[in-house]
Structure formats: C-alpha cells, structure tokens
Structure 1
Amino acid sequence: MGVAAVLPSGRQLSQKMLKPLSLLPESDPAQQRVIELGAGTGAFTRALIEHGLHCANLLVVERDASLHGLLRQRFPDLQLIQADACALRTAAQASGYLLGGPADAVISGLGLLSMPRATQRSILNEAFSVLRPGGCFVQFTYGHASPVSRALREELGLQVRRAGLAWRNAPPASVFVYQRAFTAAHTFSPPDATQ
C-alpha cells in the first residue's frame, strides 16, 4: 500500500485530524489513549505528541519496514510496531498496549480510498475492536466525499461526520470521523493477561 500522500501532511491537516480528540469524553490529551495507523514519516505522530498525548498511551502502527525504521529513529521513546492494520487487534495485544484498556481514538493516515471494500471492512472492524464504546476513527482523504461508502458504513453500523477541510494542505484534504452505535456485540473485551 505504501504512503498515501505525495507530500508530508501539513500542519493544518494535522490540526484538523486532532480536533476530534477534543470532543471525546476524556478531553485531557495526557489521559487519552490513541492508536495511529499508517504513520508514514511521522507528521501526525509528532502532532499527537505536541498535542500533549502521553507516550505510554500512544501506539504507532506502520507496515512498511523502511518507514518503520525511520519512525524508530525519529521517535525512540514511543510504542511503535510494524504490523498490518488488517491485524490490528492481534498486533496491539502482542505489544501489550491493550492491557491498559481500549483506545479512545484511532487516527488513520491510510489510503482507504484506494483500497478494495474488503480491505476497508477489515481495517474498520479491527479498529473498532480496539476502541472503547463511543470511540472514534479519524480518517483524512483527498476529496470531499467519505472514503468509506454509504453501503459499507451501513453494513458496519457506522455514523460519519465531516470534521473539516485542510484547504492549505497540498493537495487539500477532508477529515472524517466515524463512530459506531454502541451494542453489546461491539463491546471491547480486554485481552487475557495470562496469554
């Protein structure tokens, strides 16, 4: 899949991606638990740290080996794993991150728009399996429409809202926030600490 953007994400886009975090019930950045998918060169990672997120509450996921190595050099104190977003829950469990509880938000720099629906479904299911009830999945895309189709949103029980437009980004990018209506079937179950 590689990097979704031609240029690194700009400051305006980073701010738009972090804005939904201020609307979470736990609005203190130091207490929020966030997973970043597709960290690339670390633009959103840096913004999350500058926002005040505690390093122990941030899990950074990058599949590409060379980008993972670059991120290791840039952010040596972070929990950083090389994994596929389609296996997020297993990777997050193996890292020990989920022992601290579910995430409040998943921030995604993945190129969802260019992925087949089955891959989108897998990534979203994995993301919501590690989110607490009411948690959100924040995604940017180049364009004005949601990168997740209405049919797939309905299938997964997701609501979406457009959180902003980073028009100064090159190219301009829209930010969308996805949330799932809480049901017993979608309750986070903590990993077994004995495994």
Structure 2
Amino acid sequence: MSSGPAACRDRKRSRWTFFRQWLLHPRSVASVTPSSPELGVAMMAEMPAGARRVIELGGGTGALTRSIREHGIADQDLLVLELNPELHRHLREEFPQAWVVQGDATRLRAAAASAGYLQGGPADAVVSGLGLLSMEKAMQRDILASAFDCLREGGRFVQFTYGPRAPVSDRVVAELGLKVRKGEFVLRNVPPATVYVYEKNS
C-alpha cells in the first residue's frame, strides 16, 4: 500500500470529498467515512478463484477501488459505477484508465453495455459499497438482478453492510434464486462492517 506525504494528502482529500457529499446527500451516501483498507482486504478474500474482471458499485472516493487494483485486477478489466456527479468526477481523475461510469445501479447492465465494458466478456465479481440494507425490496431486487446479468456463471456479488442482519431481504434472495453466505466481520472500519457473498443456486 502506498505511503508517504503524497499518499497521506490523497487520503485526506478523499475523506473530505466523501464527508462533503455525505453532508449534501446523507440518504445516498451510505457512510460518513470511506471504507477502510481492512474492509477492502476482507472483500477481496471473497473473490472467485482466478477473478480477472470486476465491477464495483458505488465507487465513492475509491477506497474499495484501490483494494480491487491491489488484488491484481487491471484497470481495463475494472468498471466502477457511481451515481453522484462529484464523486464520479473524483473517480475519473483518480483512475483514468479504468471504466468509470456515472449511472444508476438498477440499470447496471445497460450502463456497462453502453460503455463498452461487456464487449470484453462478463464480470467474475460485482463488489458493492451501496447501502442496500436501507433500500426498498424492489430496488434491492433490481440492483441484484442487473448485477447478475453482468456476471459469468459462478460469479459472485460481494457486499458489505453496517447492520446486524443480511443487507438483502430473504424474499429478494428467494425470488432471484440466490444463496447467501456471511463473511468476515471487520471491526477496524468506521462503523464496523460485515461482508456478505451472494451467488446463484446451482
């Protein structure tokens, strides 16, 4: 992981950008602070073996994006979707070689296809920092359905949540024919977070 004065300045700038957007849009920005490196490591541990192509939902200031790249995913195989215009601009500047797209996660398939990302094939994993737990069931269903439309057979949807329960309702899981597994609890995150993994039933 990068260190030194420049990296410290970048982290402070990212935190301030994120906090400012949380003040402006508290319902759509899920947390006051970006995800910790420890949470990024826990989410990368849930990637399918040999994962090469990844989509990130809710890129924010790029905290998880950096973890994805450090996991070995090349920029040309990484698509980052962000709805917030200022955070989208920040991500474009931070990751100019990646596929950084402004759009709604309920229409991920259309956004990824329009950008040209899916011409390289489906993704192996979708990594999500969205606040699914606070969303209506219909929106949860639309987001996961669109995500799995972009995933290869055996692909995974990796999500974290701050709540005490799974971030996707049991009804949505059943409707989409998914199975869910609880991953690591990350205490060194503000607030502490739990990782969940969703896959299609075989």
Fold shared per TM-score above 0.5? yes
The alpha carbon displacement at 1:144 in A equals 3.1
Q: Deviations over 1:93-150 (max 9, x none)?
A: 0111111111000000000011111100000000000001110000000023111111
Runs of 4+ with deviation above 6 angstroms: none
Counterpart of 2:35 in structure 1 is 9
Counterpart of 1:160 in structure 2 is 180
Counterpart of 1:149 in structure 2 is 169
The alpha carbon displacement at 1:72 in A equals 1.1
Greater RCO (Cα-Cα under 8 Å, separation 6 or more): 1
Counterpart of 1:26 in structure 2 is 50
Counterpart of 1:117 in structure 2 is 137
Structure 2: gaps (5+ residues):
1-26
SS in 2 for 1:66: helix
Confirm or deny: 8 A CA contact 2:133 2:163 kept in the other structure: no
1:64 aligns with 2:84: yes
Q: What TM-score, normalized by structure 1, do the two folds share?
A: 0.87
SS in 1 for 2:89: helix
Matches within 5 A, 1:89-108: 89-108=109-128
Q: 2-side partners of 1:26 and 1:17: how far apart?
A: 15
1:37 aligns with 2:78: no
Confirm or deny: 8 A CA contact 1:134 1:181 kept in the other structure: no
Structure 1: gaps (5+ residues):
183-195
Counterpart of 1:180 in structure 2 is 200
What is the RMSD of the two structures over their aligned residues, measured on CA atoms? 1.1
Counterpart of 1:171 in structure 2 is 191
For this pair of structures, how many residues does the alignment match?
A: 176
The one-letter code matched in structure 1 to 2:159 is: Q
The one-letter code matched in structure 2 to 1:26 is: G
The alpha carbon displacement at 1:48 in A equals 0.9
Q: 2-side partners of 1:150 and 1:87: how far apart?
A: 22
Counterpart of 1:79 in structure 2 is 99
The alpha carbon displacement at 1:160 in A equals 0.4
Confirm or deny: 8 A CA contact 2:125 2:151 kept in the other structure: yes
The alpha carbon displacement at 1:85 in A equals 0.4
Q: 1-side partners of 2:43 and 2:32: how far apart?
A: 18
Q: 1-side partners of 2:49 and 2:95: how far apart?
A: 28
The one-letter code matched in structure 2 to 1:7 is: T
Confirm or deny: 8 A CA contact 1:143 1:172 kept in the other structure: no
